[in-house]
Amino acid sequence: MISISAVGMLNALGNDMAEIAVNLSRGYAPGMRINHSRLLQQRPCWLGEVTAKLPAVPAALSRHDSRNNRLLLGALAQIRDPVDRTIAAYGADRVAVVLGTSTSGLDESDQLVSACQRGQTLPGYHYHMQELGDPARFLSAYLALNGPSYTLSTACSSSARAIISGRRLIETGMADVAIVGGADSLSRMPINGFDSLESLSANRCRPFSAERDGISIGEGAALLLLTREPHDIALRGIGESSDAWHMSAPHPEGSGAIRAIQMALMDARLNAADIGYINLHGTATELNDHIEAKVIHQLFGNRVPCSSTKHLTGHTLGAAGAIEAALAWLCLTQDIPLPPQDFTDATLDGGLADCGLLTAPGRLERRFIMSNSFAFGGNNTCLILGDH
């Protein structure tokens, strides 16, 4: 069984695990705020921003100096001691790095294009910053590792797939431990891209509400250290599937999501009744919430408490799977209430299938948490965390 020995994270909820735990229990996200500069014509939208002063990228690695990679350093700083001990114990060639991202250094490239349009240059810019493979390449170089290292980009399931891949590298003997997770930073292109798809809300997103009208984009990073050595919390089950249905819309019956969830349950050797909480993908788009509620009702009825946390973090795109797995780890390791769905300025959509949505803080009664990530192109993942 593969354990999770350490977790570091930062997002709109807070700048480290302790702050995030406190704010998650309060339902308070200081980084969720109105922004007037990212959308064209300076129209307002809600974004989830990281407020921390991020670590600097060393001069020797300046070609990797993107906000995305600085977010990774912010998460790494929280688990640096166990990471260093792990590298010393197993060797630099036995530590894998598998990360997920959607943006990488896209914002730096946007700044370059804007500078060029003004007839200027952007000192220090290097194409490495924009490459989708750069996060894992950078983190491996920063830690002087030469084990397996790669980045996955499957939209909103990217970092969940990175976690799955890291576990498999250990299980197949290609690595002894794996640093897995992901990062995504705010950038004008995805924000305006989702707006052009009419999927971006002008308000803070309201998953599963009758008034929901789209996502709120966020930024953040999460890193998890996977190992064969026993620790309190394990990655008990993994599942993944592909709809092969539509470039952006989920399968109307949720068939791919169902397969991923069933695969994770089977892998964990658990039944639906064993799950104590489900962190829903819950983007607050019309189709996603409708289909996910139907899938959960079909598989679990309304017996398992569930909610989406994206109103507290924003949708962190490629980092979402790892961030929400890290939130699940927090709920398992800290005595904090399960996060309810926020309907303070909205109403629960009565047309959704009854899937056990939490409307008030709850307690974890069964020690297994499931986290779903469903991405463009029908890339579906499901992770189950629980006691070792």
- Residue of 64, 251, 311, 315 with catalytic role: 315
Residue 160: phi and psi, rounded to 5, are: -65, -40
Furthest-apart CA atoms within the chain: distance in Å: 62
Contact call for residues 104 and 187 (beta carbons, < 8 A)? no
Alpha helix stretches (DSSP H) within 134-201 = 134-142, 158-171, 188-196
As a whole number of angstroms, the distance between CA 131 and CA 297 comes to 40
Give the closest residue to 317 by CA, choosing from 247, 225, 221: 221
Has 231 been annotated as catalytic? no
Beta strands 233-242; 379-387: pairing state: antiparallel
At 216, which CATH number?
Answer: 3.40.47.10
Going residue by residue through the chain, which has 388 residues, state the pLDDT in tens, using 9 for 90 and above.
Answer: 999 999 999 999 999 999 999 999 999 999 999 999 999 888 999 999 999 999 999 999 999 999 999 999 999 999 999 999 999 999 999 999 999 999 998 888 888 888 788 888 888 888 888 889 999 999 999 999 999 999 999 989 999 999 999 999 999 999 999 999 999 999 999 999 999 988 999 899 999 999 999 999 999 999 999 999 999 999 999 999 987 766 666 767 778 899 999 999 999 999 999 999 999 999 999 989 999 999 999 999 999 999 999 999 999 999 999 999 999 999 999 989 999 999 999 999 999 999 999 999 999 999 999 999 997 667 899 999 999 8
Cα 286 to Cα 292: distance, rounded to the nearest angstrom: 10
Q: Which of 64, 251, 281, 290 is catalytic?
A: 281
Total number of domains constituting the chain: 1
281 is catalytic: yes
From 156, 306, 355, 382, active-site residue: 156
Instruction: Say whether 156 is catalytic.
Output: yes
User: Whole domain around residue 300: which residue ranges?
Assistant: 3-387
